[in-house]
Chain A
Amino acid sequence: GENVGLHLPTLSVQEGDNSIINCAYSNSASDYFIWYKQESGKGPQFIIDIRSNMDKRQGQRVTVLLNKTVKHLSLQIAATQPGDSAVYFCAERLGSNAGGTSYGKLTFGQGTILTVHP
């Protein structure tokens, strides 16, 4: 039968380049955002998080930018390495005032496949 599965966005970069992965989140009441990396056969691995009262946060080789006006989140990876190849997901969490009993659960984005070529 015809394959009607979803196709994830892909990003291919050369080793050493900087990578930017984008995410549009859905709910303006979300107050906390997380980026996860998922390698084949494994669970999501925490990379970096940011609260809604911030617009930028830096970690080791990674930076997350948050634009609440347009509900956009991005992950920047500096000096990308082959080991960074994976699927990257953004996730949002509703604020405690808006979430009710839903406070705590994460809503995941579609994901982006990052491939780093040596």
Chain B
Amino acid sequence: NAGVMQNPRHLVRRRGQEARLRCSPMKGHSHVYWYRQLPEEGLKFMVYLQKENIIDESGMPKERFSAEFPKEGPSILRIQQVVRGDSAAYFCASSPRTIQGNQPQHFGDGTRLSIL
């Protein structure tokens, strides 16, 4: 499967724990985006990264949330001290290097985070 890979597919955490969500973009894609989806809603943008750089984090809460896309390895979305309101599906998308062109973002199948 050469698509966007996310793991884990399901993650259960207790309040106050940390959640780490991983995303490996499609081969050849150097742009990664994270989105959050609540039930019966559209996806909401969180953060846009290129290798080792955060380009736009305007949709990500300032506290408890962080994201990285290191030179080697997957992109990580990290949520510290999780609360019940963090329960959602988190999707990662990637697109090719040439962002100035009209290249659609391709999505993974998401991580469903449940907070007990």
Contacts and interface: CB of A to CB of B under 8 A. Distances in A.
Contacts, number: 71
A106 B110 CA distance: 16
Interface string B30-57: 0101010001111111001000000110
A32 B109 contact: no
A49 B55 contact: no
A5 B95 CA distance: 32
Contact of B55 (A5, A42, A101, A110): A101
A57 to B, nearest CB: 11
Interface residues of B, number: 30
Contacts of B44: 108
A23 to B, nearest CB: 10
A7 B39 CA distance: 10
Contact of A108 (B42, B106, B108): B42
Given A49-B104, A105-B59, A43 B42 contact: no
A43 B110 contact: yes
B33 A105 contact: yes
B7 interface: no
Contacts of B69: none
Contact of B41 (A45, A51, A110): A110
Given A49-B102, A49-B104, A104-B99, A44 B55 contact: no
Contact of A43 (B39, B58, B91, B102): B91
Interface of A: 5-8, 32, 34, 36, 41-46, 49, 51, 89, 91, 96, 101-111
5 contacts: A43-B110, A104-B55, A106-B33, A106-B105, A110-B42
